[in-house]
Structure 1
């Protein structure tokens, strides 16, 4: 490996790690925000704020416009990571704690991998589906056992959020090869802006005087970091270090999310939840090992 290639790999891993850290704070910040803001307004406002910033970046660097063939994939990215995941998680966090919801984030790499297989036409080995099914069964079993803190509605919303986010990540990874990393999320945000801006205005609170500072800080975090800045580091990491390699850093996200939930929100993180998260990460890591077809014998 050349020195230049080694430096690019190190920079990619560093950028990807920073992106993962930023995303780890999304659920705790969303939990703070929905304690004082309506989930619909939160979804529309965060996309609007990030969209304005994304537009400024595109204009500042004079980025070329996407081609006609990029419009549908960009719409998929927008529906997955700009609207779908933020909205579904915001509503879910009115029913479950962020510490409970973050367990589901352990399935996000698997969701991304599955859509990568479907969109890329790859042939995973049978073991891939074995570990995929096992990981899903662990999540469902854990959710069914939580008779006090869990909510069927909250769990269903989190599963839906993971599905649409995985689709948005996979589609964004494909687009980043043509448009560039941060440009993908910026264009997706800009395309969503004509819809998100009026919806944010229409759903805004009558007054912000009664909204606590914690909710406002949560809104600021998910708008600036989760919606835009995190993707700048994340997609740059994928571009420099490789999607398959750097993407595995996502497996660390549940652990950092659990720590942040316990630290910021003083939520209880039982040992059983940590054990479930470890089991999910093991299943996802094993599934990714078998995501490609086995080499044919010579």
Structure 2
């Protein structure tokens, strides 16, 4: 989750000089060879899937791989990395809301309360006045990126075939590479000037949040429960806000600190409520 938070800072650096789809294309072009090496090293094979699952994979890649990355970078052209960090922290709550609305899952009351508190925190942080004018357009684009990532999570749960995580990462990266190449054509990537700083930031995004983030997440998830893993998502916005201040030298305002506290508290409260809901049946069963 620290690497996920650092992706916000890397995206801010890239967005300053490169258009979003070209940057996305370069990210996946750099990440795919490493994923293929990992796949061969672990002996992972691509599963056979029905056509419906392939359609879902393409839609997932369009939403998660392309929509999230491109909208995040486009938003960061106008929004501060600190504000984006707080908005990205909404991801687990927005994903839970999508599951309720689209999958008909039964929500517990903690979701609505957590959403209200988190949204209040985002409005507090991004709506407060400061020396630099706040960009609502940039913030809305970042929020759109969070929605795209939530759609990605939703579509993955609709697949009929169980795809190993590494194979899924390879497929998402390969499809994302093709889709971003098509989307980048109007940006004429062959005519752009590629600065050293932007290329290093893209390489970092490709290798650390994408490849290393995958390895760390699944290695950790294998050692703890799903509820504990979901709680760890609260680390991402805190890491992003901290790194925005240290790396980009963005000032951290009291409003941003308060907004981060609201979002962090809401995510943790919702995650703990879900954890208690999971553990309650096993506790009563043991007592019985």
Task: Specify the alignment match of 1:278 in structure 2.
Answer: 261
Aligned-partner SS, 1:179 = coil
Map 1:102-251 onto structure 2 (within 5 A): 102-118=85-101, 121-146=104-129, 148-172=132-156, 178-197=162-181, 199-200=183-184, 203-206=188-191, 208=193, 211-251=194-234
CA deviations over 1:112-154 (Å, ceiling 9, x no partner):
3333445664322223212212312331343233464311111
Aligned CA RMSD, in angstroms, stands at 3.0
Distance in 2 (CA, whole Å) between partners of 1:124 and 1:33 is 38
Q: Structure 1 unaligned runs (5+)? A: 1-19
What do residues 143-174 of structure 1 show as CA deviations (whole Å, max 9, x unaligned)?
A: 23346431111111111111111232454477
Q: Secondary structure at the match of 2:264?
A: helix
Moved more, 281-290 or 171-180: 171-180
The 3 A distance-change label for structure 1 pair 204 and 158 is same
Query: Which ranges in structure 2 are unaligned for 5 or more consecutive residues?
Result: none
Q: Which SS does the other structure have where 2:105 is aligned?
A: coil
Map 1:252-267 → 2, pairs under 5 A: 252-267=235-250
Task: Note if contact 1:124-1:290 (Cα within 8 Å) is conserved in structure 2.
Answer: no
- Between 1:250-259 and 1:38-47, the stretch displaced more is 38-47
Q: Aligned pair in 2 of structure 1 residues 66, 261: CA closer, same or farther (>3 Å)?
A: farther
- Conserved in 1, the CA contact under 8 Å of 2:78 and 2:138? yes
TM-score normalised to the size of structure 1? 0.80
Stretch deviating more after TM superposition (147-156 or 71-80): 71-80
In 1, are the aligned partners of 2:121 and 2:258 still within 8 Å (CA)?
no
Kept after mapping to 2: 8 A contact 1:123/1:293: no
Once residues 128 and 29 of structure 1 are traced to their aligned partners in structure 2, the CA distance between those partners, rounded to angstroms, is 31
TM-score, normalising length from structure 2?
A: 0.82
Change (3 A) 1:172 1:248: farther
1:279/1:194 CA distance change after superposition, 3 Å: closer
Aligned length: 277
Give the counterpart of 1:39 among 12, 20, 38. 20
Once residues 22 and 164 of structure 2 are traced to their aligned partners in structure 1, the CA distance between those partners, rounded to angstroms, is 30
Deviation at 1:44, TM superposition (A): 2.1
1:21 maps to 2:36: no
For 1:62 and 1:27, how far apart are their aligned partners in 2?
30
Contact 1:28 1:98 in 2 (8 A): yes
